[in-house]
Amino acid sequence: MIRSLLVVFALSAAVVAQSWESPSKAQMDNIYPGIESLYMDLHRNPELSLHEVKTAATMADNLRKLGFDVTTGVGGTGVVGVLKNGNGPTVMIRAELDALPVPEKTGLPYASHVMTKDDLGADVPVMHACGHDLHMAVGIGTATLLSQNKDRWHGTFIFVGQPAEERIRGAAAMLKDGLFTRFPRPDFAISLHDTADLPAGKLGYTPGYALANSDSVDVTIYGKGGHGSAPQVAVDPIVIAARTILAWQTIVSREINPQDPAVITVGSIHGGTKHNIIPDEVHLQLTVRSYKDEVRQHLLDSIERIAKGEATAAGAPKAPLVQVTESVKAVYNDPALTQKTADALKQIFGADNVVQEPPAMASDDFAEYGRAGVPALQFSLGAVNPEEFRKAKASGGKLPGPHSPFFAPDREPSLRTGIEAETAAVLELLRK
């Protein structure tokens, strides 16, 4: 039985609910080969954040062929496609353009073998290890179905191809470049993200906070260098760093309400060059995660307070340098929009295939669109072969997920489910 892309809904209290016809299976089958070919081409030819020139051109070309009014170069390499279809709401979808500096190890026949130089001039491999190629292909599939079925919706549909999600810069750059002022301001913003936590064919949603605030913090602790055999005439920044790292862990355990999730992870520590030399300084890199803004601020303030306190206690020659180098706010899924979309998807895919998920401590700059005042929703697309997923669950094994060099979505069911789900979510808001 063909699943419907549109849902049963009540026209009014006095009108019996009626079923809307979806784009036919023949339509989906007709567009699928082209979408699959696009997906594999994007996968073979990834580009790093802020360098998505060819990827952006591919998105723009596909949208123009569908009749969209296309603008390129928004916020860098960003692409905005606008399809107007009479009066009605404006709905935006976001697809990310960028890939990661990861060597692909999937063994796929369409695997990436791209090598390029990063912003520091180093040679690095490039892979769509986070599924942004899947998101783009699904988005073009959605745009195709909407362009072919304009008699079934009204309003304005906007496709946003966003650069630099992996460096949490692209959304802010597009907004600064007038995404919500130069183009129709959306009434709703939607995105999907693939996941290894669900099998292909299943979808996930999280009302409210879904992904975390993320702050990258760099800390330099200063000391007084000297010979390792005479520590009494030096001030050892390695010891200060060690005490500081341990003290930071008490921020979460003793300063934050246990009901408020928070994470402080020191991912990098660099100091010294030789066994018997006390260095002048130590460099630390932290990732800090939270949901609530007030918790985020407390974490950042306490990290600096403790670093300075430990340095003072050790007699350091000067206070540490604490810098927040990258930040992105938490993704907050508008509860009403989330419930409306989830209800529609459950009617299409079945309640067992649309599941509520707990919030995660990962991050995504899709948050910026919601923070700009637009009701927003990011939902999850299962991307793992169902049999492999079942076996892993039974054995307790861990499947490769986004950012792994072995991550490869189950191509056809992921693409088909993604297109159907994203189209349904848009049509639920734009239906006649």
* Residue positions annotated with a catalytic role: 98, 165
Kindly give, in sequence order, each residue whose CB lies less than 8 Å from that of residue 144, ignoring residues fewer than 6 positions away.
31, 34, 35, 66
Nearest to 417 by CA among 91, 63, 146, 138: 138
| 8 A C-beta contact, residue 163 and residue 173 | yes
d(CA 364, CA 422): 18
Kindly give, in sequence order, each residue whose CB lies less than 8 Å from that of residue 310, ignoring residues fewer than 6 positions away.
240, 243, 244, 247
d(CA 331, CA 116): 31
* Token pair 């060597």: residue: 103
Cα Rg of the chain, angstroms: 24
Distance of CA 305 to the CA centre of its chain: 31
- Judged by phi (left if over 0) then psi (alpha if -120 to 50, else beta), residue 398 lies in beta
Give backbone dihedrals phi and psi of 183, rounded to 5 degrees, phi first. -120, 165
Query: Torsion angle of alpha carbons 9, 11, 13, 16, nearest 10°?
Result: -70
d(CA 19, CA 165): 38
Query: Torsion angle of alpha carbons 381, 385, 389, 392, nearest 10°?
Result: -140
Nearest to 48 by CA among 107, 124, 110: 124
> How many CB atoms lie under 10 A from the CB of residue 66?
17
As a three-state string, the secondary structure of 49-80 is: CCCCHHHHHHHHHHHHHCCCEEEEEECCCEEE
| 8 A C-beta contact, residue 9 and residue 343 | no
The angle at the Cα of 414, spanning 413 to 417, to the nearest 5 degrees, equals 75
C-alpha dist (Å) from residue 78 to 176, 322, 371, 397: 12, 32, 19, 38
